[in-house]
Amino acid sequence: MNNSALEGVKTRHEVVSFDDESLILVDAEDREIGFLDKAAAHDGDGILHRAFSLFVFNPQGELLLQQRAADKRLWPGFWANTCCSHPRRGERIEEAISRRLQEELGMSCSFEFLFKFQYQARFGEAGSEHELCHVFAGRSDQEPDVNVEEISAVRWISPAALDAEMEQRPEHFTPWLKIEWQRLREAHEHLFIAD
């Protein structure tokens, strides 16, 4: 599957995101300092909260990208990494990754922690991401079962093709993907080797 359409891709409709879900607020050292509903955590300049990004590669070394659903509050229709979200109150980050990968893409895989970083990005008047983001990578030979409530398109892409596309059209990609991808390319070469 090398195109951006959902034609020929298994899809489903399932509401899995809620504005009132309780996110974990953290300090710059990733220590829990409280909880806040998702909507409020993203208002204005955002309040620092724990998040994750997962990059899933297939045996050929291609990355699964998702295009965010058109009705997302922040960066709708932008291309992002395989799966990104937040652990909920009382949930370990690894549990959140497995849950969200299943909810969004109907997939499961083992994954490894790579790094964490803090960033803040504003999307006009709609709000901001202000996250301490844990970045993971995994491998899977599964094809996605796309939840169209969250995702409008998916595609597998080679690292070289993604590099070129980000260079030519950076405005099509979420800010966190651009930051994370650069770091993956610089420090995690083992991810790009085909099985």
Of residues 18, 24, 25, the one with CA closest to residue 39:
18
Q: Are 53 and 176 in contact (CB under 8 A)?
A: yes
Q: Is 90 left (phi over 0), alpha (psi -120 to 50) or beta?
A: left
Active-site option among 104, 131, 150, 180: 131
Q: Are 27 and 8 in contact (CB under 8 A)?
A: no
Q: Is 32 a catalytic residue?
A: no
Give the separation between CA 79 and CA 97, rounded to whole angstroms: 19
Active-site option among 83, 84, 109, 133: 84
Q: Is 133 a catalytic residue?
A: no
Q: Are 82 and 105 in contact (CB under 8 A)?
A: yes
Hey, which residues are catalytic here? Answer: 84, 131
